[in-house]
Chain A
Amino acid sequence: MYLARKVLRPAGQVITAQDIQNELDAVKTLCRDNLHDNLVHVYGHGGLPEARSQFFIDMELCSFNLRTYIYDPEKCVSDTTLPPGYRVESIPSRSIPANIWDIMKQISEGVAFMHNHNHVHRDIKPENSAFPKFLQF
C-alpha cells in the first residue's frame, strides 16, 4: 500500500493558517471512509511532531492528472495499471478522447457531492482531477 503525503506549511500570504484549517476541515468531512468515489481518498491527517506549524494529509497515490491525459497522453500509455477502457493508445492530434462524457460526468459528480455538503472547491482545473494509481476492482 502506497500513500502520498502532502505537507502543508503556512508560507506568507500565499497559504495562510486559515487555508490549512479549511483544508483539514474539508478533508475531515468529505474524504473520510470513501464517502464518494470521485473525491480523493484520505487515510489520515495530523501535525508533524518536529514542527508545530506543519501539517500533513495522507492521501491515495495518483498516477497522473487530467492535464497530462489531455496534452501528453503518451505519458499515460506506459501506465499498465489502468483498466482497459481508460488505457490510452496513441491518440492522433486534433482528435478527442472517446470517453470525454464519462470523464466529465465523474468530475461533475464529485463537484455535485461537495456542493450538496455545502462546500465549494474554489480551484477546479484539470491539474486537480487525478487518476489513482491502484484501483480496487
Chain B
Amino acid sequence: MWKIADFGFVAQVSSKIRNRTSANGRGTHGYRAPELCTENPLYSTKTDVWALGCVLHELAFRQSAFCGDWAASEYGRSNKKLEFPGTKDLRWHDSDKLALSTILERALAVKEFFRPSADDMVNLIDNIIKDLDALPDEPTPLSLSSPPPAAEQIADRPDVDVHDEERSETDPESQTGSEEEPTPSPQRTIKRQCSQCTRSYVVPRDFIKHDKTWLGQIREYSCSDCQGSFARNEVAFNPNACR
C-alpha cells in the first residue's frame, strides 16, 4: 500500500477545474510541467497529472523523464514526440508497451487541456489492469497475411477483420500467393487504415481500448504519427473522422 506523504506545498483551490494558484518556485525540478517554466506560472490540478506521468516514466524505465526544468520547457516548445529510452530491452508484452506509451503520451501532453484528470488516470489504469488480466499467458501465433482494406470497406472495420481471418483460414492459396507481405506471425497484428492521413498501419491484435470518449476513439483509429501530432494540437481534427 503506497501512500502520499509530505503535504508541505499543498494549496487549496476553490473549484476543481480552471482554478489555479500561483506557483512561485514550488515543486521539484524534473517533475515540473512546462507551464510552470513560464514567467507567470500557474498551478492547476493538471500539473499534478504531469508529475504523475513523470513518476510512471521513472517506474517503467528507471530513468527520469526530464532531467530538469530546462528539459521540460524544451520539450514543450519543440514539436518532438516523446522518446522512450531503450524500450526494446524491456521484457514487456506488446500490449503492455502500447498501454504504457499511450498513457504516458496523454499524461505528459504539453497542453494541459489534453491531459486526463486524476480520476481519469485511475480509470485508465483500472482498464489496463483488467485487460492485462484477461490476456492469455502465452500468445497464440496468428498468421494474418491480407491486403490492406480498401477505402470503401473502412466503414465496417470489425467486419473487415473477421473476413480477413476467415479467408486466410479457408483458402491457403491467398496465403501463399502474397510473398511480398512480411509475415507478422509472432506479433499478433492487424492492419488498419488511419482515419486522419488514410495510410495503412499495423496495430497489435490485443489492442486495448483505453477509453470510450471521442478522443479515445480518434486515437484508436489513427496511426502513431497522427497521434503524436494530435497530442501537440497540430492537426485540426474533424469530428466526422470519429465513428
Contact = CB atoms under 8 A, between A and B. Distances in A.
Interface of A: 8, 15, 19, 22-23, 25-27, 30-31, 37-41, 59, 62, 65-66, 70-71, 93-97, 100-112, 114-116, 118-132, 135
A105 B129 contact: yes
A63 to B, nearest CB: 11
B117 to A, nearest CB: 7
Given A96-B59, A118-B13, A124-B48, A107 B117 contact: no
A114 B2 CA distance: 15
Contact of A105 (B3, B13, B47, B125): B125
Given A23-B8, A122-B9, A123-B9, A112 B122 contact: yes
Contacts of A41: 3
Contact of A124 (B44, B55, B60, B90): B55
A106 B86 contact: no
B35 to A, nearest CB: 13
Contact of A101 (B16, B119, B125): B125
A37 B1 contact: yes
Interface string B45-78: 1011101101110111010000000000000000
B28 interface: yes
Interface of B: 1-16, 21, 23, 26-28, 30-31, 43-45, 47-49, 51-52, 54-56, 58-60, 62, 86, 89-92, 117-119, 121-122, 125-126, 128-129, 132
| B31, B122, B129 interface centre (most CB from chain A within 10 Å) | B122
Contacts of B126: 105
A111 B59 contact: no
Contact of A120 (B21, B59, B121): B21
A96 B60 contact: yes
Nearest to A109: B122
A108 B5 contact: no
Contacts of B13: 118-120
Question: Which of A30, A95, A109 has the most B CB atoms < 10 Å from its CB?
Answer: A109
Contacts of B90: 94-96
B133 to A, nearest CB: 10
Contact of A104 (B30, B43, B56): B56
A130 B14 CA distance: 28
A97, A100, A107, A122 interface centre (most CB from chain B within 10 Å)? A122
A129 to B, nearest CB: 5
B28 A123 contact: yes
A31 B121 CA distance: 22
A8 B6 CA distance: 11
Contact of B52 (A19, A100, A108): A108
B86 A94 contact: yes
Which of B5, B14, B49 is packed against the most chain A CB atoms within 10 Å?
B5
Contacts of A120: 10-11, 13, 21, 43-45, 47-48
B14 A118 contact: yes
22 contacts: A40-B4, A59-B5, A70-B58, A101-B128, A107-B55, A108-B122, A110-B2, A111-B4, A115-B118, A115-B119, A116-B119, A118-B16, A119-B10, A119-B11, A120-B45, A122-B10, A122-B26, A123-B27, A124-B31, A129-B5, A129-B55, A135-B1
